Amino acid sequence: MSSQPGPSFGPTATVGILGTGQLGRMLALAARRMGYSVITTGDDPSGSPCGQVAEPVEDLATFLARAEVVTTEFENVDPAVLAAAALSRPGPSVVARCQNRRLEKAFLREAGVPTVRHRVVGDTDGVEHTGAADEAARRRELSAFGLPSVLKTAAFGYDGKGQWVLRDEADIASVPLDAGPYVLEELVDLAAEVSVVVGRGHDGATACYPVIENRHAHHILDVSVAPARIEQVLADRAVQLAVTVAEALDAVGVLCVEFFVTTDGQLLVNEVAPRPHNSGHLTIEAAPTSQFEQQLRTVCGLPLGATTPFRPAAMANLLGELWSEGEPNWAAALDMPGVSLHLYGKAEARPGRKMGHLTAVASTPENALELVVDARRRLSLRP
């Protein structure tokens, strides 16, 4: 499917960002560098990471009236708000599909994209069923599907929230079943987790960054390295599937398609994010066009930017735990050549909260990964 050419917006335009977090912040920084006016709305816009570098707008109606084109920095927004904008990229149908795992899995199946074996549990079609018999039936569904498996809420899940690993009947008995529907997935044996960030313009043109290899800790992305250290045939297939997903969605914007690489060589789509992604942060230093500038280009109808990286790169997330014993030792990390620091302007450091990231560029992916992990370790060194 090809997008229809639409309006383009030069640097005199006002870009509206729905959401006030760090992804919006980095998009706003890219937009301001290119001369755009940027407004943002959402939770606490004035004191937010994005609101520190864009103009915060408290009132949604005012935001929609002022923004010539609207985009989003996270998928958990009301599609009706996107529909009310003069122009939104990506559009409300794209966000609606990607923010609900049940709809997302159905879309991927229709698009012919391989996914992990799964089923929907507790799909009541809008009718509330809360009795003991219904709960018992749901637990029987979990048992019949097979173990081990992963139960996920259909909506509002991220960074491991709303997910439960089921390895035995005791896990099935203990999991809450009061927020359905759920998506139940087979727990596959993983060789790697990878992602592809793809930009798609309003004319249907696409541009992909090299495949990124990701490692998680406690369900939160820990480190990413690019290019991914997987077989080239798998990397080529991942890029092809990412383009297939973007085209099937008829999306205009930047998407991230996350994949499982199984130990038996399968490549399975896990999730789709209709926005820049944590794993793509390394493109700021590693590529001619960052994922955030690419988002701006696609949203504003500009030509897509180059995505071939200058050098291999790695990214390490900085979580709130790093601040538990005081201010991190920034000098120790930044004394290492090739290391860059990004902080998001969040006032309070909490365990598990993404406060910033480090990026390292080097001659090989292995060297970049070693460098960024060592730089993060040095942050905990006391002067």
- pLDDT tens-digit series, residues 147-206: 999 999 988 766 667 889 999 999 999 998 876 789 999 999 999 999 999 999 999 999
Q: Looking at the structure, tell me whether residues 216 and 322 fall in a common domain.
A: no
Amino acid at 290: S
Most confident of 4-8, 138-142, 209-213, 379-383: 209-213
Choose between 123 and 108: higher pLDDT. Answer: 108
5 in a domain, yes or no? no
Residue pLDDT, tens place only, 59-86 = 999 999 999 999 999 998 999 999 999 9
Instruction: Give 134's contacts (C-beta < 8 A, 6+ positions apart).
Output: none
Determine the straight-line distance between the first and last CA of the chain, rounded to whole angstroms.
57
Please check the confidence at residue 133 and state whether its pLDDT lies above 80: no
CATH number at residue 130: 3.30.1490.20
C-beta separation of 31 from 82 below 8 A: no
Whether 286 maps to a domain, the answer reads yes
Provide the 3-class DSSP secondary structure of residue 348.
coil
Same domain flag for 296 and 177: no
Domain presence at residue 253: yes
Q: Which whole number is the average pLDDT over 249-255?
A: 98
Percentage of residues of the chain with pLDDT beyond 90? 86
Tell me if 69 sits within 8 A of 89, measured CB to CB. Answer: yes
Q: Which domain holds residue 144?
A: 117-186
C-alpha span between 195 and 210 (Å, rounded): 9
Same domain, 279 and 206: yes
2 within domain boundaries = no
| 89 and 235 assigned to the same domain | yes
> Whole-number mean pLDDT of the chain?
94
pLDDT value of position 135: 81
Give the per-residue pLDDT at 128: 46
CATH of the domain at 251: 3.30.470.20
Is 226 a member of any domain? yes
Residue 135 CB: number of other CB atoms within 10 A?
Answer: 16
Give the tens place of pLDDT for each residue, 85-117.
999 999 999 999 999 999 999 999 999 999 999
Three state DSSP letters for 114-154: CECCEEEECCCCCCCCCCHHHHHHHHHHHHHHCCCEEEEEC
Residue 112 falls within a domain, yes or no? Answer: no
Q: What is the CA radius of gyration of the chain?
A: 21
The proportion of the chain whose per-residue pLDDT surpasses 70, expressed as a percent, equals 95
Question: How far apart are alpha carbons 370 and 1 in whole angstroms?
Answer: 42
